[in-house]
Amino acid sequence: MKRSVLIYQSIALITLAVAFILLWSFSKGTPFVESGLTFDETAADSYAVLQENLYRMVPILLGSIFFSIAIAFYLEEWLAQTSWIYGIVAQQITILASIPSLLYGLLALYFFVLQSEKGSFFTHALTVVLLVMPITIQSTQMAIRGVDISVREAAFALGANRWRVVIDHVFPNAFSTIVAGICTAISRALAISALIIVVYFWREPALQSGDTFNVPSSVIVLLSSALLSSVISSFLEKKANLT
Amino acid sequence: METNNHSIETQNLSLWYGDFQALIDVSVNIPAGKITSLIGPSGCGKTTLLRCFNRVNERYGNVTTKGEIKILGKNIYDPDVSLLELRKTVGMVFQRPNPLPISVYDNILFGLRIHSPFGSLKRSQSDEIVEEALTSVFLWDDLKDKLKTRATSLQLEQQQKLCIARLLPLKPQIILMDEPCSALDAKGTLAVEELMSVLAGTYTFLIVTHNMAQARRVSSECIYMFLGELIEHRETQALFETPEHPKTADYVQMRYG
């Protein structure tokens, strides 16, 4: 797969996504940038809904991490790298993972904040999945490839089957790198969530007290967890490199 | 069985990696209970041939094999052959010592655990097996207090001996060795060679080596390969002293390679 092809496809995909968002908002008659900022007493409700949705994202997040790991193992251990399915899937994952998270943030912002009154669970879930899965799959793939070939050969030559090799050797050896990748993905998701809440809060006068701009406590929590998980991630990566 | 004294027999074995033919019509009989060495310049198919015998080659996608390989009289490409059993019978030692990154104790038992039903190994039994395996590779005295240490932290020589030791509980018939001493120093090489001579008789050894002095020292029969073809297969001394084929003569008398 050529690098230039990848770059062109990514650019095309990003352009399409932005065009889609713009067209969608135009077709609804509300320009994206200055959509109606009239808020009533339901604003507080919808903030609650937003927060509730964030909590509901946790199982989605865990589920998508689990699936990402499964997909990565399937791609690396079971599927032959020469098969066309591998080619297509790996290409799409690379493209999705290389899109800046800001674009996902934009997408989320649009659907979370500007489009939905109560917030549509489906779009939120989709954003989280899109944000987390490609990076997790890619980092898990890297972690699996990082396991020395000699370990595999030794186990295979002793008669171990694929499951045995994966469970006994590849997974334990790749574990800390996999967790590091997950932490990076989560911190990305958390940071974007914080961004959305800030923007949401900002444009809802109903939630502001007086003239001061209050930063919601949830944002602090989100940002500090994002920071924490980045720290954990870099620590784990260092540890994985040492052993 | 017409030839009981041959552990491995191949008939017109050819192998391709994609379009590249790595083995061309190799027919060879490896005697049982002896050490046979495979020599030849790099890329001549020695390792490929070795890897055919426990079918580890198949893991690399685009491999096509033609011809017949019989191990202990049984064609290993028959549909009823289980890879598990094959790899139990035919053990393999690699170029770089590759103990699994678990404890010495677990390394020795890993193979056995795969091949026996879950929970069937008693603690006292496994202790005995570990001691026996380590004793037969002369490691027991050095490692009896270090059974719980990670095997990858041992010295290279000990690691390579451990790689041989972990095959023994499976009671293999044949042990394949792919340049087992290339990562070891002179002392380590000597130790592994001594070990091989002690174990020969019980096991059939097939060893790939670049070191002709080593082939001469340890093996009783020697096979010379060149560009995927088997050129000459005779007793080691005869092959080195009175090679029949001019290509063999060029190689063993260091005019080539």
- Looking at the partner chain, which of B54, B84, B100 has a beta carbon nearest the beta carbon of A154? B100
CB contacts < 8 A (A, B): 57
When pLDDT is averaged across residues A9-37 and rounded to a whole number, the result is: 62
Binned at pLDDT 50, 70 and 90, residue B205 comes out as very high
- Looking at the partner chain, which of A151, A157, A161 has a beta carbon nearest the beta carbon of B92? A157
The DSSP annotation for B167-231 comes to: TGGG--SEEEEESTTTTS-HHHHHHHHHHHHHHBTTBEEEEE-S-HHHHHHH-SEEEEEETTEEE
CB B180 within 8 A of CB B95: yes
- Looking at the partner chain, which of B88, B98, B111 has a beta carbon nearest the beta carbon of A150? B98
Q: Using the beta-carbon criterion (under 8 Å), do B62 and A82 form an inter-chain contact? A: yes
Domains by residue range for chain A, with CATH: 3-28+41-242 (1.10.3720.10)
**Token code pair at residue B61:** 């996608």
Whether residue B203 is predicted with pLDDT greater than 80 in this model: the reply is: yes
From chain A, the residues in CB contact with B163 under 8 A are: 154
Question: Which of B54 and A238 is assigned the larger pLDDT?
Answer: B54
Helix (H, G, I), strand (E, B) or coil at B129: helix
Phi, psi of B75 (to 5 degrees): -70, 120
pLDDT of residue A87: 86
pLDDT of residue A209: 55
Give the contacts of A84 (CB within 8 A, at least 6 positions apart).
none
Whether residue A33 is predicted with pLDDT greater than 60 in this model: the reply is: no
The answer to whether A161 faces chain B, any CB pair under 8 Å, is: yes
CB B134 within 8 A of CB B183: no
Question: Which of A140 and A211 is assigned the larger pLDDT?
Answer: A140
CB B148 within 8 A of CB B108: no
Binned at pLDDT 50, 70 and 90, residue A242 comes out as low
Question: Which of A48 and A171 is assigned the larger pLDDT?
Answer: A171
The CA distance from B150 to B2, in Å, is 46
Whether residue A135 is predicted with pLDDT greater than 70 in this model: the reply is: yes
CB A147 within 8 A of CB A169: yes
When pLDDT is averaged across residues A10-34 and rounded to a whole number, the result is: 64
Q: How far is residue B205 from each of residues A57, B179, B219, B222, B248, measured CA to CA in Å?
A: 59, 12, 9, 12, 22
Binned at pLDDT 50, 70 and 90, residue A94 comes out as confident
The CA distance from B221 to B235, in Å, is 4
pLDDT of residue A30: 47
CB A151 within 8 A of CB B97: no
User: How far B54 CA lies from chain A's nearest CA (Å)?
Assistant: 8
Element (H, E) at B90: strand B90-93
The end-to-end CA distance of chain A, in Å, is 32
User: How far A138 CA lies from chain B's nearest CA (Å)?
Assistant: 22
Question: Which of A196 and B176 is assigned the larger pLDDT?
Answer: B176
The CA distance from A203 to A119, in Å, is 16
pLDDT of residue A39: 42
Q: Which residue in chain A is spatially nearest to B153 when comparing CA positions?
A: A243
When pLDDT is averaged across residues A72-87 and rounded to a whole number, the result is: 84
Closest CA to B51 of B34, B78, B76: B76
When pLDDT is averaged across residues B19-33 and rounded to a whole number, the result is: 90
Helix (H, G, I), strand (E, B) or coil at B35: strand
Q: Which stretch of A32-46, A128-142, B15-29 has the lowest confidence by average pLDDT?
A: A32-46
CB B98 within 8 A of CB B160: no
Dump pLDDT digits (tens) for A172-227.
888 888 888 888 888 888 887 777 777 766 666 655 555 555 556 667 777 787 88
Alpha helix stretches (DSSP H) within chain A:
3-27, 42-73, 84-98, 101-109, 121-146, 149-157, 162-165, 171-202, 217-242
Rg (CA), chain A: 21
Whether residue B178 is predicted with pLDDT greater than 70 in this model: the reply is: yes
Domains by residue range for chain B, with CATH: 6-97+172-252 (3.40.50.300)
Whether residue B29 is predicted with pLDDT greater than 60 in this model: the reply is: yes
Q: Which residue in chain A is spatially nearest to B52 when comparing CA positions?
A: A157
Q: Which residues, numbered 74 to 113 in chain A, qualify as contacts with chain B under a Cβ-Cβ cut-off of 8 Å?
A: 80-82
From chain B, the residues in CB contact with A157 under 8 A are: 54, 56, 87, 91-92, 94
Dump pLDDT digits (tens) for B69-82.
988 888 888 888 88
The CA distance from B198 to B35, in Å, is 11
DSSP designation for A125: H
**Token code pair at residue A23:** 């067209």
Phi, psi of A211 (to 5 degrees): -90, -20
**Token code pair at residue B78:** 């028959």
For tokens 């393999």, what's the residue? B92
CB B88 within 8 A of CB B172: yes
pLDDT of residue B1: 39
Q: Using the beta-carbon criterion (under 8 Å), do B114 and A153 form an inter-chain contact? A: no
CB A188 within 8 A of CB A104: no
Dump pLDDT digits (tens) for B119-147.
778 888 889 999 988 988 888 888 889 88
User: How far A154 CA lies from chain B's nearest CA (Å)?
Assistant: 6
CB B239 within 8 A of CB B252: yes
The residue of B88, B92, B110, B166 whose CB has the most chain A CBs within 10 angstroms, and thus the best one to mutate to test that interface, is B110
Q: Which residue in chain B is spatially nearest to A163 when comparing CA positions?
A: B114
pLDDT of residue A136: 92
pLDDT of residue A40: 45
Q: Using the beta-carbon criterion (under 8 Å), do B61 and A160 form an inter-chain contact? A: no
The residue of A85, A151, A158, A167 whose CB has the most chain B CBs within 10 angstroms, and thus the best one to mutate to test that interface, is A158
pLDDT of residue B36: 93
The CA distance from A119 to B257, in Å, is 73
The CA distance from B134 to B123, in Å, is 17
From chain B, the residues in CB contact with A158 under 8 A are: 87, 91, 110-111, 114, 166-167, 170
Q: Which stretch of A76-85, B144-153, B162-171, B204-213 has the lowest confidence by average pLDDT?
A: A76-85
Question: Which of A20 and B102 is assigned the larger pLDDT?
Answer: B102
Number of C-alpha atoms within 13 angstroms, CB side, residue B157?
A: 17
The CA distance from B78 to B70, in Å, is 10
Q: Using the beta-carbon criterion (under 8 Å), do B111 and A158 form an inter-chain contact? A: yes
CB A243 within 8 A of CB A175: no
Q: Using the beta-carbon criterion (under 8 Å), do B101 and A158 form an inter-chain contact? A: no
- Looking at the partner chain, which of B85, B94, B115 has a beta carbon nearest the beta carbon of A153? B94
The CA distance from B117 to A152, in Å, is 22
pLDDT of residue A3: 67
pLDDT of residue A67: 93
Pairing outcome for strands B63-71 and B74-75: antiparallel
Q: Using the beta-carbon criterion (under 8 Å), do B94 and A82 form an inter-chain contact? A: no
